[in-house]
């Protein structure tokens, strides 16, 4: 059985492109061209160059000595937090802006919840001199003021979504409406491995640079390309998809996806999508999502804005149902404690999203000689106020 996408755009039974007819031309243009464009030597060369000189890749694979000692196992941290703009999201937006250029687009739209993807998109639009419109729920605009300011500073226009709950899914609706009205000159940059085919696959391929680097970095340090475990947090699933990518078919490498349990799986305030979700359609793909019995999408909750998503990408839905990856849910409290611990053991303040994956060590016992790679998806600067309020530092 394969764990990667098939030629029809499905991971097992998940994926596909469930979109309004008016979007067919936009999606078809991407479906027909994305693999070919990504395979062009000039595309690869420009992508690699920007990842190196602009993003700062390769990101280090750091052996966390004190953390390893504490948990009596070998822990490596893949330092995506050191990328320009502070997380893995820039890998994808660089790839997609180059894709948009090759398709002759001059205008970029995106939606954002916490604002991290909006900032990564506004950044590459400034870099490439593209018009940039970011849709964001009115409530999120109020909650995420620093990121809104960043986007504006970078030259983007931030348009509030005023309908519904005025959060991420309403911003998504606005972005889709915009795209339907501007099919010729506009590219829609989706920020995770979600959305209609080919987005999940395209985003996974752009993020796959993470596991590509882990392979040779680990070879240099441990003499093997294969860790025993790769661990990553999952919101939509892009940093995990990138960290897992080159290990998907290698079942000797255990994959662990960490979701946000919020205040607890059964508390009604959670974002543990795989565990709590049922099959449904969100954002144009068939996947697992949290919904009521009559199919209304349930509001997710997590202390980390980046994991606060009601669905999970189709790759992860398949990794979950097939059992290829182990899914673990971590509460707000466990994540915050793990974030403080990493700060004080290693001098690295992680994003709260990432702190969820670091809490794994209180859930699972590893062997002394296990090699564990944790994808450190982002830095915690954006979350400082949250940490400070939580710990009353």
Residue 238 lies near ligand PLP (rule: CB under 6 A): yes
Report if residue 315 touches ligand PLP, rule: CB under 6 A.
no
| Omega cis (within 30) before 34 | no
The residue number with the shortest CB distance to ligand PLP is 378
Whole-number Å distance between alpha carbons of 380 and 393: 15
- What are the DSSP calls for 69-117, one per residue? HHHTSEEEEEEGGGSGGGBTHHHHHHHHHHHHHHTT--EEEEEESSSHH
Q: What six digits make up the tokens of 53?
A: 């000189």
Size of the site for ligand PLP (CB under 6 A): 18
Q: Which residues 190-209 are close enough to bind ligand PLP by CB under 6 A?
A: 192
The distance of closest approach from Cβ of residue 313 to ligand PLP in the complex, given in angstroms and rounded to an integer, is: 7
Q: Which of 95, 196, 339, 378 binds ligand PLP (CB under 6 A)?
A: 378
Q: Which two tokens stand for residue 152?
A: 């504006």
C-beta of 233: minimal distance to ligand PLP in Å? 5
Site membership for ligand PLP, residue 233 (CB under 6 A) = yes
Among the listed residues 88, 105, 280, 302, the one whose alpha carbon sits nearest the alpha carbon of residue 191: 88
317 binds ligand PLP (CB under 6 A): no
Both structure tokens of 107: 């205008």
In the set 59, 78, 111, 274, the catalytic residue is 111
Find the binding residues for ligand PLP in span 101-140 (CB under 6 A): 116
**Which residue lies nearer to ligand PLP by CB, 217 or 354?**
354
Q: Does 89 bind ligand PLP (CB under 6 A)?
A: yes
69 tagged catalytic: no
* Spatial distance between the Cα atoms of 94 and 96, rounded to a whole number of angstroms: 6
Does 353 participate in binding ligand PLP (rule CB under 6 A)? yes
**In sequence order, which ranges of 103-208 are alpha helices (DSSP H)?**
116-128, 138-143, 145-153, 168-181, 199-207
Q: Which of 98, 230, 234, 258 binds ligand PLP (CB under 6 A)?
A: 234
* Helical (H) or strand (E) element with 132: strand 131-137
Does 383 bind ligand PLP (CB under 6 A)? Our answer is no
Collapsing DSSP to helix, strand or coil, 11 comes out as strand
Task: Please confirm, yes or no, whether 111 is among the known catalytic residues.
Answer: yes
Report if residue 9 touches ligand PLP, rule: CB under 6 A. no
Residues with Cβ within 8 Å of 147's Cβ and at least 6 positions away in sequence, in order, are: 112, 114, 115, 116, 118, 119, 382
Residue 362's Cβ-side half-sphere holds a number of Cα atoms within 13 Å equal to: 16
> What stretch of H or E contains 372?
strand 371-376
* Distance of closest approach, residue 353 Cβ to ligand PLP, in angstroms: 3
CB of 291 to ligand PLP, least distance (A): 19
| Nearest approach, Cβ of residue 112 and ligand PLP (Å) | 9
26 touches ligand PLP by CB under 6 A: no
Q: Taking CB under 6 A as the rule, does residue 277 contact ligand PLP?
A: no
Scanning 1-9, 24-32, 216-224, 230-238 for contacts with ligand PLP by CB under 6 A, the matching segment is: 230-238
- For ligand PLP, the binding residue among 306, 310, 311, 339 (CB under 6 A) is 306
Residue 377 designated active-site: yes
Is 351 one of the binding residues for ligand PLP (CB under 6 A)? yes
Q: Is the peptide bond before 58 cis (omega within 30 degrees of 0)?
A: yes
Q: Which residues of 168-191 are buried (b: 16+ CB within 10 A; e: fewer)?
A: bbbbbbbbbebbbebeeebbbbbb
Give the residue numbers annotated as catalytic, written as ranges.
89, 111, 377
Residues interacting with ligand PLP, by CB under 6 A? 87, 89, 116, 192, 233-239, 306-307, 351, 353-354, 377-378
């Amino acid at each position: 059985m394969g764990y990667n996408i098939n030629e029809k755009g499905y991971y097992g039974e998940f994926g596909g492109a469930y979109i309004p007819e008016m979007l067919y031309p936009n999606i078809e243009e991407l479906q027909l061209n994305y693999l070919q464009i990504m395979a062009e030597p000039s595309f690869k060369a420009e992508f690699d160059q920007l990842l190196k000189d602009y993003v700062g890749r390769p990101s280090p694979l750091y052996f966390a000595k004190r953390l390893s000692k504490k948990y009596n196992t070998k822990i490596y941290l893949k330092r995506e937090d050191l990328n320009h703009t502070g997380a893995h999201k820039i890998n994808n937006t660089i790839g997609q802006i180059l894709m948009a250029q090759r398709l002759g687009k001059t205008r970029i739209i995106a939606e954002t919840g916490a604002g991290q993807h909006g900032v990564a998109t506004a950044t590459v639009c400034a870099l490439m001199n593209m018009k940039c419109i970011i849709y964001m729920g009115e409530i999120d605009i109020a909650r995420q003021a620093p990121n809104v300011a960043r986007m504006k500073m970078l030259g983007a226009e931030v348009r509030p979504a005023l309908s519904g709950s005025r959060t991420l899914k309403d911003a998504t609706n606005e972005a889709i409406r915009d795209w339907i009205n501007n099919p010729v000159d506009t590219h829609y940059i989706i920020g995770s491995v979600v959305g209609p085919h080919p987005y999940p696959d395209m985003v996974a391929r752009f993020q796959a640079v993470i596991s590509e680097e882990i392979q040779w970095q680990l070879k240099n340090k441990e003499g093997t390309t294969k860790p025993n475990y790769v661990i990553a947090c999952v919101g939509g699933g892009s940093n995990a998809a990138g960290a897992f990518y080159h290990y998907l078919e290698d079942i000797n490498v255990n994959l662990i996806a960490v979701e946000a349990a919020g205040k607890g799986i059964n508390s009604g305030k959670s974002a543990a999508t795989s565990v709590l979700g049922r099959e449904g359609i969100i954002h144009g793909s068939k996947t697992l999502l949290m919904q009521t019995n009559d199919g209304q999408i349930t509001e997710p909750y997590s202390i980390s804005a980046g994991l606060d998503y009601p669905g999970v990408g189709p790759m992860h839905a398949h990794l979950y149902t097939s059992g290829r990856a182990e899914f673990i849910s971590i509460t707000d409290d466990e994540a915050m404690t793990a974030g403080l611990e990493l700060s004080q053991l290693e001098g690295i303040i992680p994003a709260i999203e990432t702190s969820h994956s670091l809490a794994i060590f209180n859930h699972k016992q590893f062997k002394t000689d296990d090699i564990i790679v944790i994808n450190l998806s982002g830095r915690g600067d954006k979350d400082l106020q949250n940490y400070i309020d939580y710990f009353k530092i």
